Amino acid sequence: MTGLATENTLIRNASDVEAFARQCFLASPGEQVGVELEFLVFDRTAPARQVPWTRIAEVLPPLPGGSVVTFEPGGQLELSGPPGPLPDAITRLTADVDAARGALRDAGLVLAGVGLDPLRPAWRQLRLPRYEAMAEFLGRPYGALMMCSTASIQVNLDLGTRPATRWDRTHLLGPVLVAAFANSPLSGSRPCGWMSGRQAVWDRLDRTRTAAVPAGGDPAADWAEYLLDARLMAVREATGSPGNPESSEDARYRPVRDGSTFRDRLAASARPPTLADLTYHATTLFPPVRPRGWLEIRYLDAQHPASWPVCAAVTHALVTDDRAADAALAAAEPCAGMWQRAARRGLADPLLRRAAESCFRAALAALPRLGATPALVCEVAAFANRHVSPGRSPAADLLNLAGGPERRLPDWLAQEGRI
């Protein structure tokens, strides 16, 4: 809609939806990166025990880098770092992760970077109205697992002066990056059959809201069609004032149980939906890449608390640096669309491993141009040597801990993920 539109502006037809979608792709010439980290938290003395989110919140100190602290429905801790140039964004968020990690350690808790809870069953702690509606809509077991047992790294990137180009890059590179950072092979202390079990959980949810948006065409038009054809999860009925720390909003939500889409609502509703309704609907959609005036890259598993900067730096370099992107895309093109294959096999797949090697070489060449510190470049090189070249996604290390007679997974969880 136009810059004068308000949340009460009526959405009367598909053209209004496309106007909204185009606002999500406005060029932004900056080169900021924002990183949102989700972590599972374990009790050092009893890793199989659930940790209440209130216990975590009580011990967190003021964070020196300015990250926003939130909690996911299962009590996962999320740190959303301030956006900025790559070196600043990583420096500030690293300071906050270190501060949170130290405070939790002193309280007998462990910050674990893994994409799917390897030990505990799903247990929902937060009871926000929108979470109630989401849980009813998505069902069990996969809705509960997604809400309560998964953790990711979300990398947010400016659209640049050529939004369609970056949109296409994030999708073409997606399977290779999923494989390179696959880090969730366990559930219930057993192999789940996927190197990225988190991706497998998302794949089993409502595909009208979790499948990739088509890339390669007009991104705004494709996003508009996705918005129209996605099923409605819930309808907001009223909005109150912010409540306690468990709630950032106090709205009432009516679950939608008839399978209707936003397109159906436009055609059938006696009261046309508003811009606020469409905006809320967009927040209930979870494709691998979501446009919001910037690009939310949502397909990356959570990583060890000390190695997440590698994930953010490589993703940023390959999408925003033209020279790196050209080399990476040439290597990744044979893997285009292989989302499931990447999640299931990770870097054990020879095609994905070869593509990942080329992508990491391109990122390593680009990072100094992007202002990355020598230390960060060394971290990326070390990750490539440990995981990419030998074809061992981080998930392979977790599989080793769960296998064999020793079954060291609880010990790993009790020792802050040191392998």
* Residue 19 confidence (pLDDT) above 60: yes
Q: What is the pLDDT, as a whole number, of residue 248?
A: 41
Give me the pLDDT at residue 170, please. 98
| 281 three-state secondary structure | helix
pLDDT at 405: 58
Question: Token match 């069953």: residue?
Answer: 121
Look up residue 386 and give its DSSP letter.
Answer: I
386-407 burial, b at 16+ Cβ within 10 Å, e below that, comes to: ebbeebbbbbbbbbebbeeeee
Mean pLDDT, residues 235-261 taken together = 64
Q: How confident is the model at residue 193 (pLDDT cuts 50, 70, 90)?
A: very high
Closest to 37 measured CA to CA, from 175, 151, 176: 151
Per DSSP bridges, beta strands 234-238 and 252-255 are antiparallel
Identify the three-state secondary structure at position 413.
helix
Query: Within a 13 Å sphere around the CA of 339, how many CA atoms are in the beta-carbon half?
Result: 22
Where b means 16+ CB within 10 Å and e means fewer, 352-370 reads: bbbbbbbbbbbbbebbeeb
Q: What is the pLDDT of residue 237?
A: 73
Region 171-184 average pLDDT: 98
Question: Which range, of 30-39, 148-157, 221-230, 248-257, averages the lowest pLDDT?
Answer: 248-257
What is the model's pLDDT at position 4? 47
- The answer, yes or no, to whether residue 59 has pLDDT greater than 50, is yes
Does the pLDDT at position 241 exceed 70?
Answer: no
- pLDDT above 90 covers a percentage of the chain that reads 82
- Cβ-in-10-Å burial (0-12, 13-18, 19+) of 23 comes to middle
**368: number of CA atoms within 13 Å, CB side?**
6
pLDDT band of residue 301 (cuts 50, 70, 90) is very high
**Three-state secondary structure call for residue 107:** coil
Mean pLDDT of 118-134: 92
Q: Which residue from 287, 18, 309, 15 is spatially nearest to 167, judged by alpha carbons?
A: 287
pLDDT given for residue 406 in this prediction:
57
- Over the chain, what is the mean pLDDT? 92
Distance (Å, whole) CA 258 – CA 283: 20
Average pLDDT over every residue of 212-227: 96
- What are the tokens at 5? 């539109």
Q: Please give the Cα distance from 17 to 223 (Å, whole number).
A: 9
pLDDT tops 90 at residue 8? no
pTM higher than the cut 0.85: yes
Q: What is the dihedral of CA 113, 95, 68, 293, to 10 degrees?
A: -90
Q: What is the mean pLDDT of residues 71-93?
A: 97
Q: 57 is written with which tokens?
A: 């919140």
Phi/psi of residue 363, each to 5°?
-65, -40
pLDDT confidence tier of residue 239, bands split at 50, 70 and 90:
low
Which of 147-156, 160-169, 251-260 comes out lowest in average pLDDT?
Answer: 251-260
Judge whether residue 335 has pLDDT over 80: yes
pLDDT at 54 exceeding the cut of 80: yes
Query: Do the beta carbons of residue 399 and residue 116 sit within 8 Å?
Result: no
- The tally of CA atoms less than 13 A away on the side-chain side of residue 393 is 35
Mean pLDDT of 278-284: 95
Query: Is the model's pLDDT at 244 over the cut of 50?
Result: no
pLDDT of res. 251: 63
Q: Which residues pair with 160 in a beta bridge?
A: 28
186 DSSP 8-state letter: E
Query: For residue 268, what pLDDT band results from cuts at 50, 70 and 90?
Result: confident
Whether 16 shows a pLDDT value over 80: the answer reads yes
- The answer to whether the beta carbons of residues 283 and 233 sit under 8 Å apart is no
Supply the DSSP string of 19-46, one letter for each residue.
Answer: HHHHHTT--B----EEEEEEEEEEETT-
CA dist 11 and 20 (Å) reads: 9
Name residue 112's beta-bridge partners.
40
Q: Which of 201, 233, 24, 241 is nearest to 116 (CA)?
A: 201
How many CB atoms lie under 10 A from the CB of residue 26?
12
Task: Give the Cβ contact number of residue 172 at 10 Å.
Answer: 20
What would the mean pLDDT of 266-278 be, rounded to a whole number?
87
pLDDT mean over 336-346: 97
